[in-house]
């Protein structure tokens, strides 16, 4: 109760400060009343959703995620505005003290100056405010197809030009627009790749989240099949269960659902992709993540029955596995496919110029293609979204990778 009281007082103090800026730039009272109404609505909805709202657990439900998203948008707007105005108030305070101590008649806080700074602050704050709203309205379904050509010295000849489509982090429990998902599934099939690989996090918490979408994702197809692995969210670790048996059954139900949808789920095991006499080893591990994330992945077990000189593609949900174990392994894994980071669903990307997101401070390998010790990693930015119900700058991704043999290019 005390923390909610502190939250309300802090939020209202920030809002009151920003309200002064609105009153400075306009004598029309309706601007102020609109701001007050929106601020109160966002605060009340957030409190409601996180006190008496539905569902418990560490992963936000759709209503909670929107409550969080709108709060984040308002706080961003308020804080940026306050940074400008507070600096002006500090200047005026110091100036006032100087005038009082030395008795000089100087005008330090001109109304015109205050109005200019208020306009500047509100204008700059409006940019991320609008971006976050756009991210919730359009950005989360702004699907992009990213294409990469990767060359290898030892790729089997028959696999030159072999095309892989990778998707990751579906997070079906967050979806709220079937038409957009139908479009994305159609976009995946439009690539007409040889194989489709899904690298984990089909749900947020429970198998039931995927059931309304199972018929749609069952229509995904690739001539050499669809393969999948589990991500950290697929185990149901982020919500309370009445019994361990129910939690276990949820995971078994998800495994069965994936099979019914046509996915071959790799649980620390391998398959061979065959073309004539040539083959590629496709290895899939369960989730392995650094820190507090589940470490069910067993690379040794998954690769126990393949040959050291096989060309290998590894599916591992969390890129920290590649960083911590895969590139140091005695076996050479030519290409690892991961997801997990979502690119934090927020950042700036201008191909060839800028690729930045705050998630880089947590994951050094967070989006796109990387190469270390002659081994490639692709970190998919994710198909869905989680927490903040949107994306800004880091768009949902369908990856298409074409394998090429250097001698044949």
Question: How do residues 150-204 score in pLDDT, each as one tens digit?
Answer: 999 999 999 999 999 999 999 999 999 999 999 999 999 999 999 999 999 999 9
* Coil vs helix vs strand at 169: coil
Quote the strand ranges of 168-298, DSSP E.
Answer: 195-198, 226-228, 263-265, 269-275, 278-284
| C-alpha to C-alpha distance for 389 and 62, rounded to whole angstroms | 8
Burial 383-393 (b: 16+ CB within 10 A, else e): bbbbbbbbbbb
pLDDT number for residue 118: 74
Question: How many Å apart are CA 265 and CA 253, to the nearest integer?
Answer: 13
> Quick one: 352 exposed, middle or buried, by C-beta within 10 A (0-12, 13-18, 19+)?
exposed
Distance CA 303, CA 295 (A): 17
**Tokens 């911590």 found at:** 324
Q: pLDDT at position 332, please? A: 96
Sign of CA dihedral 19, 25, 30, 34: negative
Helices in 162-237 by DSSP H: which ranges?
178-190, 214-217
CA distance 345 to 374: 29
Please state, in angstroms and as integers, the Cα–Cα distance from residue 148 to each residue in 17, 156, 252, 380, 400, following that order.
49, 19, 35, 12, 6
CATH superfamily of the domain spanning 143-405:
Metallo-dependent phosphatases (3.60.21.10)
**CA–CA dist 60, 301 (Å, integer):** 34
pLDDT of residue 249: 98
**Neighbouring C-alpha atoms within 13 Å toward the C-beta of 190:** 10
What pLDDT does residue 108 have?
47
Task: Please tell me the predicted confidence (pLDDT) of residue 38.
Answer: 94
C-alpha torsion sign, points 13, 19, 24, 27: negative
The sign of the CA dihedral 301, 284, 379, 343 is negative
248 CB neighbour count, 10 Å cutoff: 13
How far apart are the C-alpha atoms of 408 and 162, rounded to whole Å? 13
The single residue listed with the structure tokens 């702004």 is 142
User: Which parts of the chain have pLDDT scores under 70?
Assistant: 26-27, 54-56, 86-114
Length of the chain as a residue count: 409
d(CA 194, CA 221): 9
> CA-to-CA distance for 139 and 395, rounded, in angstroms?
7
Look-up: residue for tokens 């103090």?
13
Which of 340, 287, 338, 333 lies closest to 310 in space, CA to CA? 333
Give me 375's structure tokens.
């081994």
Match 């700058």 to its residue by tokens.
Answer: 393
192 dihedral zone (left: phi>0; alpha: psi -120 to 50; beta): left
Contacts of 330 (CB under 8 A, 6+ apart): 308
Which sequence spans correspond to the domains of the chain? 2-138, 143-405
At 296, list the tokens.
Answer: 């069910």
Which residues, at least 6 apart from 351, have a Cβ–Cβ distance to it below 8 Å?
Answer: none
In whole angstroms, give the CA distance from residue 48 to residue 97: 44
Average pLDDT value for the chain: 91
Three-class SS state of 389? coil
Per residue in 88-116, pLDDT (tens digit) is: 666 556 666 656 666 655 554 556 666 77
């Amino acid at each position: 109760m005390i923390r909610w009281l502190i939250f309300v007082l802090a939020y209202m103090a920030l809002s009151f400060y920003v309200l002064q800026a609105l009153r400075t730039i306009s004598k029309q009272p309706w601007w102020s009343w609109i701001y007050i109404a929106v601020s109160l609505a966002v605060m009340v909805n957030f409190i409601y959703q996180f006190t008496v709202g539905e569902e418990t657990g560490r992963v936000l439900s759709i209503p909670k995620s929107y409550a969080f998203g709108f709060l984040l948008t308002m706080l961003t707007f308020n804080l940026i505005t306050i940074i400008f105005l507070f600096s002006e108030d500090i200047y005026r305070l110091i100036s006032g003290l100087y005038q009082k101590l030395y008795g000089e008649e100087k005008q330090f806080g001109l109304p015109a100056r205050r109005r200019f700074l208020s306009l500047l602050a509100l204008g700059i704050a409006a940019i991320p405010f609008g971006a976050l709203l756009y991210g919730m309205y359009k950005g989360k379904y702004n699907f992009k197809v990213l294409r990469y050509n990767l060359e290898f010295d030892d790729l089997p000849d028959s696999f030159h030009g072999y095309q892989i489509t990778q998707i990751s982090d579906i997070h079906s429990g967050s979806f709220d627009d079937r038409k957009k998902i139908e479009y994305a599934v159609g976009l995946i099939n439009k690539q007409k790749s040889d194989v489709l690989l899904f690298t984990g996090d089909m749900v947020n918490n429970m198998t039931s989240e995927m059931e309304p979408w199972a018929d749609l994702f069952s229509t995904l197809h690739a001539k050499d099949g669809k393969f999948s692995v589990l991500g950290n969210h697929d185990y149901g670790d982020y919500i309370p269960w009445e019994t361990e048996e129910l939690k276990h059954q949820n995971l078994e139900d998800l495994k069965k659902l994936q099979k019914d949808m046509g996915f071959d789920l790799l649980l620390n095991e391998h398959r061979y992709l065959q073309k004539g006499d040539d083959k590629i080893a496709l290895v899939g591990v369960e989730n392995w993540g650094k820190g507090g994330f589940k470490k069910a992945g067993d690379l040794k077990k998954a690769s126990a029955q393949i040959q050291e000189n096989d060309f290998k593609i590894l599916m591992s949900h969390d890129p920290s596995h590649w960083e911590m174990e895969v590139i140091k392994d005695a076996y050479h894994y030519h290409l690892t496919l991961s997801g997990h980071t979502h690119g934090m669903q927020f950042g700036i990307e201008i191909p060839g110029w800028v690729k930045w997101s705050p998630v880089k401070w947590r994951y050094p390998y967070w989006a796109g293609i990387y190469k270390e010790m002659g081994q490639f990693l692709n970190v998919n930015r994710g198909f869905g979204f989680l927490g903040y119900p949107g994306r800004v700058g880091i768009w949902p991704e369908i990856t298409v990778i074409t394998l090429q043999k250097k001698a044949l290019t």
